[in-house]
Amino acid sequence: MIYTKHQQNIAESLNSDSDINDWKDWKWQIRHTIRTIDDFESILDVKFEPSEKNLMAKTLEKFPLAITPYYASLIDRTNLKDDPVFKQAFCSIEELNIDAWDMADPLSEEHDSPVNSITHRYPDRVLFHISSMCAMYCRHCTRKRKVGDRDTIPSKQTLNAGLKYIREHPEVRDVLLSGGDPLMLSDSTLKWLLDEVTAIPHVEVVRIGTRMPVVLPYRITDKLVSILSAYDNLWINTHFNHPREITESAETALRKLTRSGIPMGNQTVLLAGVNDCPQIMKTLMHKLVRNRVRPYYIYQCDLSEGLTHFRTPVSKGIEIIESLRGHTSGFAVPTYVIDAPGGGGKIPVSPNYVVSWSSNKVILRNYEGVICSYKEPDRYHPVQCDLNCRDCSLQLNTDGREYLPPVGIRKLMADYDDKIALVPADNERIKRREND
Ligand SMILES: *Cc1c(COP(=O)(O)O)cnc(C)c1O
């Protein structure tokens, strides 16, 4: 049921003459966002201990609160302590614990930022921060440093600077619209921006990263869908963390998007006390694919300040992948990644399946623990690839697109130049050579 008695009570306590049409109006939801502990108590009819409340208030000075009435209505009031929705939405006094390893910007997004709104980390794609607002402030936000501090509409000037950067960088073939939540922009601003980005000839793919289907599914209006579905190269990634979040309202929003032809992915964050359980993750992945949303990533929780209580060891993520791969549909298995502190980007981590290797056989183990051998071909002539593709007998056709010179490990493999090693900039041994 889309409008429960409980939701009606919440709506009426926020605005006495409200009805289901208000509830399903995303702007009404934004206007009635819960931002204080007192409001939370009165709207959900719960009471915190006064001593606890004082500490909670301290967390809000650092990391503000914002919960949509819709997402608040998913909270189980009878068991706040164990509730996965409550934990993602409401402040915990544990947010005040800062570990020695924690950082305000663990992913060094601001170092890899050539202009204000762009993070350019990978060779062919950029993150474009087009909104500094969110409908809900996830307590596990990796950009917690920014939450609420510039809760304004980004200026056209900032957006234009980002667009200019993309136009001037022909290597950018994939643009990720992020934020904040891009769907906090008005329909007209969003359309303007999408028109501008998709008009850039070298941009092949545009992605929107949004949590709206989870925290405010009513944002997915028919009008919005008609705007978004006009772009043939648009993908949307959303952010469900727990099967409880896939409600009828969320499913309706997802169905509108998928029926309009937009491919959907999901990025989950591994969170202690929320979804650090193979059974919960499997249920979540099954519910996602049933709604035609492809599980894309599971993220190890970042080293951002205020997230200590959400972090699990990496082994938990590997255990979750172990419980999925082979046990369920291949396309229900996301890639588990650690976004490397310092700006190294996403690094996949997985159980080991290669047990051993000889000069002609690979020894593998499957999900059942069966050890298998794969005989490699006797007659494969290894090609010394120098990436001179024009002279190669394989029929590469890049549609005229220039190839980027290879970087990193790929470059070592490809005999592209005479580099035979990748050496860290501050390597002691090399420094000694220079000094001698
Ligand atoms: C995650 C991310 C991307 C996109 O990575 P994919 O693996 O292509 O999804 C791009 N830029 C930055 C800075 C990112 O954090």
pLDDT digits (tens, 9 = 90+) for 7-52: 999 999 998 888 999 999 999 999 999 999 999 999 999 999 999 9
- 146 and 203 co-located in one domain: yes
Percentage of the residues of the chain whose pLDDT score is greater than 70: 99
Cα–Cα nearest to 166, from 109, 136, 217, 124: 124
- 211 and 308 co-located in one domain: yes
Residues in contact with ligand 1 by the CB-under-6-Å rule are 119, 121-122, 125, 127, 176, 346
- 187 and 335 co-located in one domain: yes
Percentage of the residues of the chain whose pLDDT score is greater than 90: 77
Report if residue 55 sits inside a domain: yes
Report if residue 228 sits inside a domain: yes
Distance (angstroms) between ligand 1 centre and the Cα of 68 equals: 27
Q: Which of 73, 91, 109 is the last residue of a domain?
A: 91
* Contact present, 284 and 241 (Cβ < 8 Å): yes
- 155 and 81 co-located in one domain: no
Instruction: Tell me the residue range of the domain where 408 lies.
Output: 389-435
Q: Could you tell me the pTM of the whole model?
A: 0.95
Respond yes or no: is residue 138 known to be catalytic: yes
Report if residue 356 sits inside a domain: no
In angstroms, the CA 425 to CA 112 distance is 18
Q: Mean of the pLDDT values across residues 228-244?
A: 98
Place of tokens 């005229």: 400
- 20 and 150 co-located in one domain: no
- What is the best residue among 129, 337, 346, 349 to mutate for testing ligand 1's pocket, by most ligand atoms within 8 Å of CB? 346
Cα–Cα nearest to 304, from 341, 346, 268: 341
Distance (angstroms) between ligand 1 centre and the Cα of 368 equals: 33
The residue annotated as part of the active site, out of 83, 91, 125, 181, is: 125
* CATH number of domain containing 319: 3.20.20.70
- 430 and 290 co-located in one domain: no
DSSP tag of 330: G
- 72 and 208 co-located in one domain: no
Respond yes or no: is residue 207 known to be catalytic: no
Q: Which helix (H) or strand (E) holds 43?
A: helix 37-44
- 318 and 405 co-located in one domain: no
pLDDT beyond 80 at 154: no
pLDDT beyond 70 at 248: yes
Total Cβ atoms within 10 A of residue 361: 12
- 287 and 144 co-located in one domain: yes
Residues at the binding site for [4Fe-4S] cluster are 134, 138, 141
- Label residue 68 exposed, middle or buried (CB < 10 Å: 0-12, 13-18, 19+): buried
Reduced to 3 states (helix: H, G, I; strand: E, B; else coil), residue 379 is: coil
In the Cβ-directed half-sphere of 384, how many Cα atoms lie within 13 Å? Answer: 2
Report if residue 188 sits inside a domain: yes
- 180 and 301 co-located in one domain: yes
Respond yes or no: is residue 122 known to be catalytic: yes
Report if residue 99 sits inside a domain: no
Considering the chain, what is the average pLDDT of its residues?
93
CA distances to 197, 276, 277, 278 from 312, rounded to whole Å, are 38, 7, 11, 13
Report if residue 113 sits inside a domain: no
How many helices (H) and strands (E) are present in the chain, helices listed first? 16, 12
| pLDDT per position as a tens digit, 344-396 | 999 999 999 999 999 999 999 999 999 999 999 999 988 778 888 878 888 88
Place of tokens 């009570």: 9
Report if residue 106 sits inside a domain: no
- What is the best residue among 121, 169, 294, 299 to mutate for testing ligand 1's pocket, by most ligand atoms within 8 Å of CB? 121
In angstroms, the CA 299 to CA 252 distance is 26
In angstroms, the CA 238 to CA 138 distance is 13
- 209 and 275 co-located in one domain: yes
- 240 and 286 co-located in one domain: yes
Q: How many domains does the chain have?
A: 3
Distance (angstroms) between ligand 1 centre and the Cα of 127 equals: 7
| pLDDT per position as a tens digit, 277-328 | 999 999 999 999 999 999 999 999 999 999 999 999 999 999 999 999 999 9
In angstroms, the CA 210 to CA 229 distance is 16
- What is the best residue among 110, 127, 336 to mutate for testing ligand 1's pocket, by most ligand atoms within 8 Å of CB? 127
The pLDDT value recorded for residue 111 is 85
The residue annotated as part of the active site, out of 25, 39, 122, 367, is: 122
The residue annotated as part of the active site, out of 138, 144, 181, 244, is: 138
The residue annotated as part of the active site, out of 297, 302, 311, 336, is: 302
Report if residue 169 sits inside a domain: yes
Which residue would you say has higher pLDDT here, 144 or 255? Answer: 255
